[in-house]
Structure formats: C-alpha cells, structure tokens
A and B are shown apart, each in its own frame.
Chain A
Amino acid sequence: MKRLQDQHFYELLNVEFNASPLDVSRAYKEHHELYREDSLASYSFFSKQERKEILAKLQEAYSTLMDEDKRYRYDRLLIERGILLEEMQFQAEHRALRRASPANHFIRNPLLKITDELKALISSNAVIQETLSYEVLSGKDLKRIRKELGISLEVIGEITKIRLIFLRAIEDDAFDIPPSRMFLKSYLKAYAQCIGLDANIVASRYLKRIDEQKLSSPTSHDHADK
C-alpha cells in the first residue's frame, strides 16, 4: 500500500489516466466529502495537520488535472518517471487531438473564445454563407448553420448554461416558451456567439422575423411580447 504522500494525482483521486474533466471533478467532490474538516466519516481518524495536508494535496491534484496545460506537463513528468506509459501519452495526445475539432474545442473552452478554425469553417461553407445572406433568420436557419458546424445543442447548453428547452424553442420558433422577449434576445445572442456568429446581427434578424409574423397575424403571437 502506498502512503497518500507517495501517490500521484491519478491514484490520489482514484481516476484513470484518460479521465475526463467531468470524471476528475466528480472524483474530487467525493474525496473532499471524505476528508473535509467536518466530515463525519473520517471523524477522529486524522490529526488536524494530516487532514490539512491531505486536503491541500487533493486541491493540487484537482487544479492540475483540470487544467489542460498543467495536466499535459504533469503527464510528461509521470512518463519521465516511468509511471505513465508512452502508450498512455499517445492516448493523451489523441485526447488533445479530439479536442482540437471545433465542437469539442468548445467543451474545453467555456470562455466562448471563437477560434480561427470555426471562423474559417463559417466563411468557407456555402450553405452557411447563403443562410447568413437572408434578410431574416428563422429557427430552422439557425439549426441548419449549427448542423453544418457539427455542434450539438447540448454543447451549446453546457457552454452558455441556457436550458435545453429554451435552446430548442429558438430552433423550433416556439416563441412562447422563453419567459419574455428580453430573455429570448439574450438567449439568441448567447447562442449565436457560441457558434461563432455575430450576436447582434443574428438576434435582430431573428426578432425581425417574429415582428413581421406578428404584424401579419397580430393575435397568434401576441404573447411573445409579454
């Protein structure tokens, strides 16, 4: 049995070398529950100092494995020490490659940083360019663009923290689902920004279409303004 001090971060958190950030954060939560200051389960088992050291090490493991760069450097260190096999490094690189594709890149990049790749994809795609030339945009149009980019609605939901029911409502033109026009507008902007489009243009063209529809049938979509 290895002492806690001698365990590497993967052992400490009891996760695989190719664990996803979600796995890591789940494992961290579980371990924190076990060792935190007022944990009943480990009551009296550790001295104050021991507990402090364990918690600090857990914190360090978490922050290292959650940060892609830090984790890469840490993996290199483990390979040098012969703990991590070259094979696993291969997998780690594979993991990095997968992330490089636009959709997955977004999962790793919650800061909504629009990459050059995504922009290039938008400008080179004929279907997207045609759709963007429309005077007004419908939910179907946005859905088409999103499909062309290969980004799932779930990913947008995860990044924007907007509930899927509202994102779906945008694409289904179900204007009565968002609580108000103001909410709809901000959802639209976040959605557009997330898939690399100009937020203001998308929002105004989409809302313009709603307004036009309302003029043609004033009763049916009245509640969209509430």
Chain B
Amino acid sequence: MAHIWPIGGGKGGTGKSFLTGNIGIMLARQGFKTLLIDADLGSPNLHTVIGLPYPEKSLSDFFSKRLTDLEDAVLETPIPNLFLISGARNKLDVANLAFEQKKRMLRAISRLDYDYILMDLSAGTSFNTIDFFTLSGSAIFVCCPEPTSIENLYRLILSLYTRRIHHLLKSQAFRDLAEKAESLNPDANVSKPEVLLHVLKEIDPEKAGMIERILQAFQFRLVINQLRKQDKPTIGSLICQIIAKHLCLNMQFMGNVSFDERVHDGLCAKAPFVERYLYSQVTLDLRSVARGIVNGNHEQTENPLSVSQI
C-alpha cells in the first residue's frame, strides 16, 4: 500500500514543486519506489524540477479517457525508482475539474503500486486543490516564514476544514449552521471552525462528535521553507501549536529548509537540486524531512485515502 502525501501550502512560490521533486528523488535514491504526480493542474512544472524534458503524455490524457488506466500515464525518469505523472500537456481547461473526476483520479491513485506517492498541488483555495486534501485526509504543507505565506496557509487549512464539515453534513444543515456560527462571531475574518463545531455541539452533539473524530484523523505535516538566518527557527512548531489549540487538528512540524540562492541556479540549469548540490545545507534539510516521512510511516497506519468514504 502506498503512502500518499499531497503537498500544498496556500501561497504560490513557497517551494511546493521544489520540495516534491527533491524529496521524491531522495526517497527514490533510498530504494523506495516513488511516484510524483503533478496535480498542479493549472500550472504544472514538476517535470522541470526533476530535469525531465517535455513529457509525451500527461494527466489530462487520463481525464479525457484517452488513457483508461492511470498507470499508463506514468513516465520513467532518469533516476531509478522515480516515476512521474506529468501535468505538462494538460489541456488549458483542465484546471477546472468536476468533483467526480477528482474522485475518479484519487481512486485510481490509491490502486497504484508504489511505496510513496507525492502529489504536487496548486496554490490557492479553489475546490480543485482543497478536494485533493480533504479526500486524501493527509497533507504536507509548505510555508515560508513570512506573513503572506502564513496568512494563506491558515486560509487554506480553514477552507479545507470547513469544506470537510460541509461534505460531512447535508448541505442544508450546513447552511443553517454557518449562519448561526456567523451571527455568533461577526468579527471573525474567516468563518471559525471552532465556533462551527461549538454551535453544532449544541444542535446535534452526536454529529459533532463524529465530525470532530474525522477532523482529528487528518494527518497534517508542516515544512518551513526558505528559512533565512535572521528568521526564528521555532516558527514552524508555533504554527502547529496554533493549529492544534484552535482547530484541534493533528499537524506535525517536520523541519526547516534553509534559504539558498543556488536553488534558482539549479532551476535555471534544469537539474535537480539535491543531485547538483549534494552537500549544501538545503540538501541536508531536505534529507531530514525525507527521513521524517519514512520514519513517520507507522503513524499513517490507516490508509488516509479511504476510497470507500469518498
């Protein structure tokens, strides 16, 4: 059974594709059969991060049903054990997927035979992105130690939290709930799931208990990327504390990845960073994150992608 990790982070440019590609390379080099999926449907570029030329087939072939089996969309890469499903040749309208198509894709993904599957997701809080998180129940978030990035991270987490509750309740019940919650908390800049759950507890304690359990089953991880020397290295664990205290979500801090000018050079050279700069701090940091993914396996005991629930 594959360990499936969607990788996202709210804001663009935080290094989602960079991390996905390079951690994928590390896992593959350690002998794990690893698949990268470029699920950033609107702006795919993962193939470039790992130094692959323009791919022949891609994800949209699966959506257009030109390929019936998702496995047929898998590309080999120059790195042994590393495989890619690219998004490069996606049709331009593929960024707006129907919910059913996303379900079909996730079902197909869960049937693939790999040790690790890393999905590079797009920035923002469109349903396209959020549904991949809520449907798979796990995520690695990439965030920079900057207000803009943190703001978008919270927004993403709150959106998928709310979307998950939305899914769980009948939509009519949810609308009443949201209205009640908003009337209780008019100043909140985002609708507060904290309040949502509290209101729900009063209306229907049984449903609230169920939702709380499901929300707690989310497996979230956080990586702080582009940490400069003057930044506080504790910021990641502080963010996890806020999430745990106020959203009751299980989010673990996986580590900091240092800022390095050479990441830009590596991208321009179209060569994977961890192969080109083997002994840089960034490579060391990424290695420790990859180790965290491997060591943390026992925590992901139940398949987060429980398709039966979808």
B151 touches A34 (CB 8 A): no
The chain A residue sitting closest to B241, CB to CB, is A34
**Nearest chain B CB to A37's CB is how many angstroms away?**
13
User: B-side binding surface: helix, strand, loop or mixed?
Assistant: helix
Q: Which of A1, A40, A49 contacts B197 (CB 8 A)?
A: A1
Contacts of B145 in A (CB 8 A): 40
> Chain B: which residue is nearest A45 at the CB level?
B154
B188 sits at the interface (CB 8 A): yes
* Alpha-carbon gap, A82 to B158, bound state (A): 34
The distance in angstroms between the C-alpha atoms of A40 and B235, with both chains bound, is 8
Nearest-neighbour CB distance to chain A for B210, whole angstroms, equals 14
Q: Which of B147, B154, B188, B198 contacts A50 (CB 8 A)?
A: B188
Interface of A is mostly: loop
Question: When A and B form their complex, what is the total count of cross-chain residue pairs whose Cβ atoms lie within 8 Å?
Answer: 46
A3-B194, A34-B241 known; A43-B150 Cβ under 8 A: yes
Complex contacts, A34 vs chain B, CB 8 Å: 238, 241-242
Interface flags, B224-266, vs A, CB<8A=1, else 0 = 0000000010010011011001101000000000000000000
Assess the B239–A41 pair: CB atoms within 8 A. Answer: yes
Residues of chain B contacted by A39 (CB below 8 angstroms): 238
B212/A40 in contact, CB under 8 A: no
Q: What's the least CB distance linking B177 to chain A, in Å? A: 16
Interface residues of A (CB under 8 A from B): 1, 3-4, 33-34, 39-45, 47, 49-50
Instruction: Name 30 interchain pairs, CB-CB below 8 A, sorted by A.
Output: A1-B194, A1-B197, A1-B212, A3-B194, A3-B198, A34-B238, A34-B241, A39-B238, A40-B145, A40-B150, A40-B232, A40-B235, A41-B150, A41-B235, A41-B238, A41-B241, A41-B242, A42-B238, A43-B147, A43-B150, A43-B151, A44-B147, A44-B150, A44-B155, A45-B242, A45-B246, A47-B187, A47-B188, A50-B187, A50-B188
Known: A3-B198, A40-B147, A44-B150. 6 other contacts (CB 8 A): A40-B232, A41-B239, A42-B238, A44-B151, A44-B189, A50-B187
